[in-house]
Amino acid sequence: MPIVLRQTSSRAKTAILRRMYTTKQDVSFQELRQLIHGVGKSPYTLIDVREPDEVAQGKVPTATNIPLGEVATAFSLPNDQFKSKYGIDKPSPSVETIFYCRSGKRSQSAIDQVEKINPNLVIRNYRGSWLNYSENALNGQSLV
C-alpha cells in the first residue's frame, strides 16, 4: 500500500521520509552511557523533556531540562536566546540531539515537534528513558 503524502507540507514530508528511512533513531542505554563518558567523542546534546518536579528526582548526567510544553517554543528561539534560557548551545545539524523523558512517549512527541521546526537536525530518542537509565545505572552496567 503506497504512502500518501499529497496533503502534507514539504517540511513535514521531509520529516516523515527521514523517519521512515533513518536506521539510527533510537539510542540504547549502553550507547548513551558511552556518549556521556566520552567513549567515541561524538558531539551530542541530551534533552530531558520531563517536568521540573520529575527532574528533581534524578536525571541522566549531562542532560538539559526543556519540559515538553516548552519544546516547540524553545527550538524556535534564536540561538542566543536559547543559550541564555537553557545554558547550552541550541542544537545544530552537526550535533546529535537526543531526547528522553520518563518512559519514551513524551520524548517522541518532542521529536515530532522539533522535526517540524528544524528537519535538518540529527534527532534520536532514548526510548528507555529515565526508567531504563535509572534501573541500569543502579545495577552497575559496565561502560564498554
Q: pLDDT (tens digit, 9 = 90+) per residue, 83-122?
A: 999 999 999 999 999 999 999 899 999 999 999 999 999 9
- Asked if the model's pLDDT at residue 24 lies above 80, the reply is no
How far is 97 from 45, CA to CA, in rounded Å? 5
Amino acid 11: pLDDT: 60
In the prediction, which pLDDT does 139 show? 76
22 has pLDDT over 80: no
**Is the model's pLDDT at 21 over the cut of 50?**
no
pLDDT at 143 over 50: no
Check residue 38 and give its pLDDT: 87
Whole-number pLDDT of residue 17: 47
3-class DSSP assignment, residue 41: coil
Q: Report the predicted TM-score, pTM, of the whole model to 2 decimal places.
A: 0.79
Question: Given a cut of 70, is residue 14 above it in pLDDT?
Answer: no
Model confidence at 20: pLDDT above 50 = no
125-128: which pairs have CB atoms within 8 A and are 24 or more residues apart? Answer: 125/25, 125/26, 125/27, 125/98, 125/99, 125/100, 126/26, 126/27, 126/29, 126/32, 126/46, 126/60, 126/98, 126/99, 126/100, 127/26, 127/27, 128/28, 128/29, 128/100, 128/104
- Please tell me which of 8-17, 26-35, 64-73 the model is most confident about, judged by mean pLDDT: 64-73
pLDDT class of 2 with cuts at 50, 70, 90 = very low
C-alpha cell at 120: 535538518
